[in-house]
Amino acid sequence: MADLLSYLGMAPEEARLEGQRLVLRPPRLADYDQWARLRALSRDFLQPWEPTWAADELTPAAWRQRMRGYWRDMRNDAAYPLFLMHRDSGELLGGLTLSDVRRGAAQAATLGYWIGMPHAGRGYMSEAVRLALAHAFGALALHRVEAACIPDNAPSRRLLRSCGFSQEGLARRYLKINGQWRDHLLFAITAEDFPPAA
């Protein structure tokens, strides 16, 4: 299966999904300064919901390694990382990834996301998730997108429900988040459910 860039028919520097306020595009090496600043500024805001950060998490070397992984995963149709860029200013707002792509009988992927602290609560991630789902069920030809969140992460639960996800269960001690194995609520949406009814 061809990668995101082939689906879009564009060169890497031109690949983009456009929304009302956002452009979603693959990360670029040149994004390092914006990414490192936003992640550093948002560290306390993000860490309760993420795996423990490595000691070198925000270094240029770690960024280059991350980029190599991003492009390898895209070439292999394994994951599609996308940055949320403000359409007018070009400012980095956050990111999302369609990862763990399963083909064959499943045609499924897992959605993960983060938003920088200054941009939280403004509806950017809702727009981004809807754009990503339209692409997942369109060009990527997926049938199901799954997501999980810690039960006490109310904003994430609201986001998923507002974008048409249904809660399907609870996975006990599902992921190691901020140094602890945490239970997660499991959500999913299928192509038949999208777009959700207004």
pTM: 0.91
pLDDT of residue 195: 86
Phi, then psi, of 92 in degrees rounded to 5: -75, 130
Count the Cβ atoms, other than its own, within 10 Å of residue 52.
Answer: 12
State both tokens at 192. Answer: 């038949």
Q: What is the pLDDT of residue 10?
A: 47
105-154 per-position pLDDT tens digit: 999 999 999 999 999 999 999 999 999 999 999 999 999 999 999 999 99
Tell me how many degrees the CA angle 55-84-177 measures, rounded to the nearest 5.
40
pLDDT tens sequence across 18-74: 999 999 999 999 999 999 999 999 999 999 999 999 999 999 999 999 999 999 999
| pLDDT reported for residue 196 | 75
pLDDT of residue 7: 44
Q: Give domain 4-193's CATH number out of 3.30.230.10, 3.40.50.300, 3.40.50.1820, 3.40.630.30.
A: 3.40.630.30
Q: What is the pLDDT of residues 142-170, one digit of tens each?
A: 999 999 999 999 999 999 999 999 999 99
| Whether residue 3 has pLDDT greater than 90 | no
Q: Tell me the domain boundaries of the chain.
A: 4-193
- Given a cut of 70, whether residue 172 has pLDDT beyond it is yes
The strand pairing partners of 166, in sequence order, are 188
